[in-house]
């Protein structure tokens, strides 16, 4: 899934790379920039709002003539505007200002906007303003995709959840077993609202699917491990399932609840045949039905003749009852 996100050409994308102090996601962010610049199918300008690193550090590793389509907006030197320098400040984060930055270029196609990082903006703006601005920006047509780096351990869980709920894709990075490897947990929300996840946490989820033949299928989602080369190329691989577990192998449940009983609940062939021949007391035979439904000579009858005191109404036979 990570490779699909890197090579995606869909419009209206809002992707978040969520990292922490234990694993930085900036190299993966730069890989997305590199893929956007070198993709022949996109041919788009890439605008970078740099709050945390300088332009030289951001461009380190980016090579080729396509780097001319990269527009770096310096917000690292004076992010709060204290020195009155002509740079982008965090107070300028608004829909009008961002659209003005993107529309300054004469590139015909919608651009990609990369924010390094959203944590800087969330420290000085409310989450509602940030979410509304980003949502309007990616739906306005000026920007094809918005990619932001978010330091999850710098904010409250509700703030992180609000921003990630707005995103179409979230990539959470964590340290890998080796020094040059990292683990990615990806959540992608399609246009129909369906959520697809690749599990990459320490605990392995087990999803059970029950078929019509009463078999249970165990699926063990695999973690996706990735590493980034010096040229910002992403190499991905899947972590194998824990030993002893065989994914996607059907296992039929053969538990017998009568196995440990001290008496027998099953019938033998002779017992089953005797049971079928037994006539039940509430089942009437044909002869008994005939005898009950037809009167025979000598049987008695009950005759009732109402007298003058009987108040009988044919339309309401229960009129005399006190109900």
Cα–Cα distance, 232 to 31 (Å, whole number):
5
pTM confidence score: 0.65
Cα–Cα distance, 23 to 51 (Å, whole number):
19
Cα–Cα distance, 305 to 228 (Å, whole number):
106
Q: Left if phi > 0, otherwise alpha if psi is -120 to 50, otherwise beta: which for 193?
A: left
Domain ranges of the chain: 2-202+222-240
Question: Tens of pLDDT along 22-48?
Answer: 999 999 999 999 988 887 677 788 999
Q: Residue 215: its pLDDT value, please?
A: 41
Over its C-alpha atoms, the chain yields an Rg (Å, rounded) of: 38
Report DSSP state, residue 71.
E
3-state secondary structure of 188: strand
Token pair listed for 136? 């309007």
Q: Residue 200: its pLDDT value, please?
A: 41
Q: Left if phi > 0, otherwise alpha if psi is -120 to 50, otherwise beta: which for 178?
A: beta
Say which residues have a Cβ less than 8 Å from residue 128's Cβ, sequence separation at least 6. 162
Token pair listed for 139? 């739906």
In the predicted model, residues of the chain with pLDDT beneath 50 are 199-222, 244-252
Number of residues that make up the chain: 323
CA dist list (Å): 315 to 5, 146, 319: 81, 81, 9
Q: Residue 18: its pLDDT value, please?
A: 94
Fold of 2-202+222-240: Rossmann fold (3.40.50)
Helix 95-103 to helix 127-139 angle (10° resolution) is 40
CA dist list (Å): 38 to 67, 68, 101, 142, 233: 9, 11, 22, 20, 11
Question: Tens of pLDDT along 86-101?
Answer: 888 999 999 999 988 8
Cα–Cα distance, 72 to 49 (Å, whole number):
6
């Amino acid at each position: 899934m990570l490779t699909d996100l890197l090579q995606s050409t869909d419009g209206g994308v809002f992707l978040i790379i969520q990292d922490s102090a234990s694993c930085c996601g900036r190299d993966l962010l730069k890989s997305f920039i590199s893929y956007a610049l070198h993709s022949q199918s996109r041919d788009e300008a890439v605008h970078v709002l740099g709050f945390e690193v300088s332009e030289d550090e951001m461009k380190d590793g980016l090579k080729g003539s396509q780097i001319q389509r990269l527009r770096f907006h310096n917000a690292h030197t004076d992010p709060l505007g204290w020195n009155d320098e002509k740079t982008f400040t965090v107070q300028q984060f608004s829909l009008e200002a961002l659209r003005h930055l993107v529309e300054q270029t004469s590139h015909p196609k919608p651009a990609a906007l990369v924010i390094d990082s959203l944590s800087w903006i969330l420290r000085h703006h409310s989450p509602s303003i940030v979410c509304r601005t980003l949502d309007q920006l990616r739906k306005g047509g000026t920007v094809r995709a918005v990619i932001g780096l978010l330091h999850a351990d710098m904010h409250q869980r509700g703030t992180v959840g609000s921003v990630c709920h707005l995103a179409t894709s979230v990539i959470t990075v964590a340290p890998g077993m080796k020094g040059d490897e990292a683990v990615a947990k990806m959540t992608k929300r399609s246009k129909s609202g369906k959520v697809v996840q690749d599990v990459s946490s320490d605990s392995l989820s087990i999803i059970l699917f029950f078929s019509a033949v009463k078999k249970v299928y165990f699926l063990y989602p695999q973690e996706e491990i990735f590493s980034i080369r010096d040229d910002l190329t992403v190499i991905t691989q899947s972590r194998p399932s824990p030993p002893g577990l065989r994914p996607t192998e059907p296992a039929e449940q053969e538990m017998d609840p009568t196995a440990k009983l001290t008496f027998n609940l099953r019938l033998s062939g002779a017992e089953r045949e005797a049971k079928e021949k037994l006539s039940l007391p509430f089942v009437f035979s044909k002869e008994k039905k005939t005898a009950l439904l037809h009167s025979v000579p000598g049987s008695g009858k009950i005759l009732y003749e109402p007298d003058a005191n009987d108040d009988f109404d044919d339309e309401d036979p229960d009129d005399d009852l006190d109900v």
